[in-house]
Amino acid sequence: MAYRLNTEQVMEFKEVFDMYAKPPVNTLSIEELGELMEAVGNKMTRTQLKNTVNSIGVFNDGRIDFPSYLIIMEDVMKDLDPKNEILKAYKAFCRADGLISTSELRHMLVTLQDEMSEDDIDYMIMEADKDHDGLISYQEFEKMIMSS
């Protein structure tokens, strides 16, 4: 699933980019990109930076321009997207058929949410399994997580 930056994010990223990409070149070196990423709370090792830059294939003459930086930030934001996190969690627990049984969900909630009561867990499962088939689809799982 591709992540798209909204206009506000692009403007914010442009402001930050301009603080690090000084005229006349208006591009970033890999070191400057590392400083920028650390400043915005996404510290990356030099290897991670190189891999990220190389994976998008826009590393020109050792410098990163603003459009290339936006591609990098889309990738970073995708990893921070709550829906992406929900999908990762679902895939970690779903069966080969792409579903989670209510008993598996109960076990997961008991194991991971030790502060939840049995009644809370029962309620979450009842709310998630709207069709009462004993199986939780991704859509049901997502609604359950987003409403909790």
Give 65-75 pLDDT, tens digit per residue: 999 999 888 88
The two structure tokens encoding residue 40: 């915005």
Dmax over CA atoms of the chain, in Å, equals: 63
Residue 60 DSSP code: B
Q: Would you give the distance in Å from CA 136 to the centre of its chain? A: 22
Say how far apart CA 145 and CA 112 lie, in whole Å. Answer: 13
Residue type, 88: K
Tens digit of each residue's pLDDT (9 = 90 or more) over 2-54: 568 889 889 999 999 999 998 888 899 889 999 998 888 788 898 988 888 88
Residues of the chain with CATH 1.10.238.10: 7-80, 83-147
pTM of this structure: 0.55
CATH 1.10.238.10 fits 7-80, yes or no: yes
| CATH fold group of domain 83-147 | Recoverin; domain 1 (1.10.238)
Say how far apart CA 119 and CA 91 lie, in whole Å. Answer: 26
